[in-house]
Amino acid sequence: MDGRCLEMPNEPGGGFCSKIRHAGYPCEERGGMIFAYMGPASPPPPMPHLEWTLLPDSHSFASKRVQECNWFQAMEGGIDSSHISFLHAPLDHADAEVTRELDAASFGVGSAVQTADRAPRFDVVDTDYGVLIGAQRSRPDGQHLWRVTQFLMPFYTMPPTDLDEKITQSHIWVPMDDANVINWMVTWHPDRPLTREEIDLNVAGRGAHVCDYLPPTSEPYGDIRTSANRDNDYGMDWEAHRTRMFCGIPGFGVQDQAIQESQGGIVDRALEHLGTSDTAIIHVRRRLMSAARALRERGTPAPGRDPESFHVRSASVVLSPGAKWVEGALPRVMAKPGRQLTRV
């Protein structure tokens, strides 16, 4: 990990290897993954307390896949709570069969679709670890459904869970280069092992995981290129697309990938027309740009130096009109009871 050369058997005397160093990065294994610290601090800062890294392996399921687009435009899809009313939804919100399928596979999409409110109102709060995002939809009973998304610096997103559901999901958008990203996805339950049924649902691609890959090749990450891709229209079911679903592509994860990749390798943001539904995206962009400038100009590290501040979850809650959504969601989004949200 420190790049120290251990042996150079073709050099006489054996002392030369002690003078040779290769670029190396401190690494730490958590939750079945290896994290590398690539910053300047020595010793490196402590690992963030992402909940799934603190649990037994049986409590979580992880997958990864290559996406052929810039990491940031992919990540923006992970914090856009309004797209579920279209990309992942039936043409008719009263379609009971489709809604049952959504509830079984999506951990929170079904309850939002059932409101029939396709234009959520957004609010955002800066936190020590990133941004807390609330999307409020009106329900037929007069109450408000708040779907709460987490953005954790620098590239973690947590889409909302379902009502009263503890199974949580997170995307980790790791850049490969300017126009490709590895989408790591983790699903976990904080209190118990995942069941075989829950794991099989994700392996089958009925949720947001995509685990169906092309035959492996020798190219970089050639073992995690998805079978559903641009070359085959992502497996589009045109009959379902015409008669039942806004998008006939099977599987929420592939639907997301198709939309993110269809923007091109790097989307031209000069052509954008951002609206109020883009509130979270605008805010996260500003937060990241501000952090990057502070690091470049003053050497100020990014937020989130307290590793415990990352011990959070996403949530969905039903609140009365006028209720403060952050306070209402706090018991659900803070993984440790009694811990308060640190705002910045």
The pLDDT value given to residue 201: 87
| CB 306, CB 342: distance < 8 Å | yes
Torsion sign (Cα): 27, 182, 60, 326: positive
Question: Rounded to whole angstroms, what are the CA distances from 152 to 106, 124, 219, 260?
Answer: 21, 13, 31, 20
The pLDDT value given to residue 302: 64
Q: In the chain, which stretches have pLDDT less than 50?
A: none
The pLDDT value given to residue 151: 97
**Coil, helix or strand at residue 75:** helix
Instruction: Tell me the pTM.
Output: 0.90
The pLDDT value given to residue 100: 64
Domains and CATH numbers, the chain: 1-44 (no CATH), 49-333 (3.90.380)
Q: What is the pLDDT of residues 166-214, one digit of tens each?
A: 899 999 999 999 999 999 999 999 999 999 999 998 888 878 899 999 9
| CB 337, CB 331: distance < 8 Å | yes
Transcribe 119-140 into DSSP letters: SPEEEEEEBSSEEEEEEEEE-T
